[in-house]
Amino acid sequence: DGGITQSPKYLFRKEGQNVTLSCEQNLNHDAMYWYRQDPGQGLRLIYYSQIVNDFQKGDIAEGYSVSREKKESFPLTVTSAQKNPTAFYLCASSISFGARGYTFGSGTRLTVV
């Protein structure tokens, strides 16, 4: 079955370390997204990519970086510059950018210890 796979499900990071969250999709979708979810705040857009080798900053990109070298993969790196990285991170994809419904992965819960 097609879908989005995020790994790991849970991740613990020490302060000052960079960590990379994996996101892989086999839906043949062009567009991919990273959202951060905090309690009571809904989902906030970190980065998005409309097509391979292209990506743009969302609303809260500071302290994060991404790459889109392959259509199926859109990894997110949480750097030590992110001041409050503890959150639930969701990756999503859509067949094209904009009007179509999004398919979400099951998320990665990152905790800084």
Interface positions with another protein (CB under 8 A): 33, 35, 40-45, 48, 58, 90, 97-107
CA 96 centroid distance within chain: 17
Contact 23, 112 (CB under 8 A): no
Q: Smallest distance from the beta carbon of 42 to another protein, in angstroms?
A: 4
18 vs 57, beta carbon nearer another protein: 57
As a whole number of Å, the CA-based R_g of the chain is: 13
Beta 4-7 vs 19-25: how paired, if at all?
antiparallel
Q: Smallest distance from the beta carbon of 15 to another protein, in angstroms?
A: 25
Contact 101, 33 (CB under 8 A): no
48 vs 64, beta carbon nearer another protein: 48
41 vs 84, beta carbon nearer another protein: 41
Q: Smallest distance from the beta carbon of 40 to another protein, in angstroms?
A: 6
